[in-house]
Amino acid sequence: MLITTLICAVALRQGPPPPVRLLTLLPNGASLLVERVESATTASIQLFCSSVGSRDTTATHGARHLLEHLLSKSADPSNTLELSGGVFRAQTTRDYMQFEVEVPASQIQIGIDAISRTMRMPVVSQETITKESKIIGEELALADSKAEASQLAWEEFLGEAALSPGGDAKKMIKLEPEQLYRVHKTQFASNHIALIVVGHVDVDQVTKQLAPMLKVLSEDKRPSTPRTFDGLYLRRRQGVLSVGVGSVRQTSTLAMVAAALALANELNGGYFVYTPSAESGVVTVGCDNPEALDAVLKSTDAPFVFVPGKNLARQYFESQLRTPEGIASLRGSLLVQSPSLKPEILISPLKSLTFKDFQEAWVKLGGRP
């Protein structure tokens, strides 16, 4: 029996309207979320695969990233997606693997077919591994400096437990097909999967179509250990400030997001890096001028940036809920970590964030109280 959460539009006199968002939690642990956006001209279909149970080790560093590349090649073998005006994207993060298809609303079936193909493990040869590892090596050489700064903080805080999700091309090339098959089996276990569809769609119809596709997946019943920081971690290097935070559910984490965004807003060319996580994470803020970062922290009192910080943090999440692809990405990245994790439980606490909580975060960054 399916466990279903139904969120309906405002009731009309002539009867109940169709659902605008339907979350289905299957008995095997898979999650399916379908949301209708009346004004949408495109549909976004996104598949998320949790990294729980298949996190990189020094021996397999990059296996998930390599697998993502290999599966992506199966998405559109005959160019049907491209010819229909669709776009395919994929990425591997610390907490999940993400596959995204964006198609014109009338071509949603083509998008669903593309996502379905990415779930199937292809036959992999050692030659394929060698070729794709070299391509990934070239990709990693072009890594964004902001992401690199954040990764350095992760490694300093957690060491080998925080290996880069991008991987190590030199390690990838030594992987064997059987290792990738094992990673795939774990990544695509039912309780590690969240499938999201957002657009001008029939919510009930799409749910009925996709639920059977997830229902046949097997569950991974092995216990997992969450990633945690046992204390405050702070790293300051050449105009970059990184701080370890707890789960995004925690008020202290949301306060740090607000404080870091407030700081980035005060800097010329300031930037902010953070991926919402149910586990411990890293918030990074910086700019190209190290002296400017120190100057702002030493001269800016918390009351001056409190309201802007709160607003920026709220907008950080709300701005991602304005398009089908943004809605699917944010909701999916949270849902794959926990069915109870959703944007609303992040945005609401930010609206009521107290000055005391913000001030504590600002001071931890090195700012004036």
User: What does the pLDDT read at residue 148?
Assistant: 82
Q: What is the pTM of this model?
A: 0.91
Beta bridge partners of 241: 236, 285
- Decide if pLDDT at 195 tops 60: yes
pLDDT of 7 above 70: no
Choose between 179 and 157: higher pLDDT. 179
pLDDT surpasses 90 at 226? no
Specify the pLDDT at position 216: 95
What pLDDT shows up at residue 230? 62
User: Buried (b) or exposed (e) across 160-193, using 16+ Cβ within 10 A?
Assistant: eebbbbbbbbebbbebeeebbeebbebbbbbbbb
Q: Kindly state the percentage of the chain with pLDDT values over 70.
A: 94
Hey, what are 65's tokens?
A: 């990233």
Widest Cα–Cα separation across the chain: 64
pLDDT band at 238 (very low <50, low <70, confident <90, very high): confident
pLDDT band at 9 (very low <50, low <70, confident <90, very high): very low
Please, are residues 199 and 37 in contact by the beta-carbon 8 Å criterion? yes
- Among 232, 284, 286, 276, smallest CA distance to 254 is for 276
How many Å apart are CA 188 and CA 197, to the nearest integer? 18
| Stretch 22-42: mean pLDDT | 96
pLDDT band at 231 (very low <50, low <70, confident <90, very high): low
More confident residue, 288 or 211: 211
Question: 244, 240, 261: which is closest to 306 by C-alpha?
Answer: 261
pLDDT at 208: 97
Work out the pLDDT band at 6, boundaries 50, 70, 90: very low
pLDDT at res. 10: 40
Residue 270 confidence (pLDDT): 93
Q: How many residues does the chain have?
A: 369
Condensed to tens digits (0 to 9), the pLDDT of residues 310-358 reads: 999 999 999 999 999 999 999 999 999 999 999 999 999 999 999 999 9
Q: Does residue 108 register a pLDDT over 60?
A: yes
Task: Write down all domains in the chain, each with its CATH number in brackets.
Answer: 3-215 (3.30.830.10), 234-364 (3.30.830.10)
Looking at residue 32, its pLDDT comes to 98
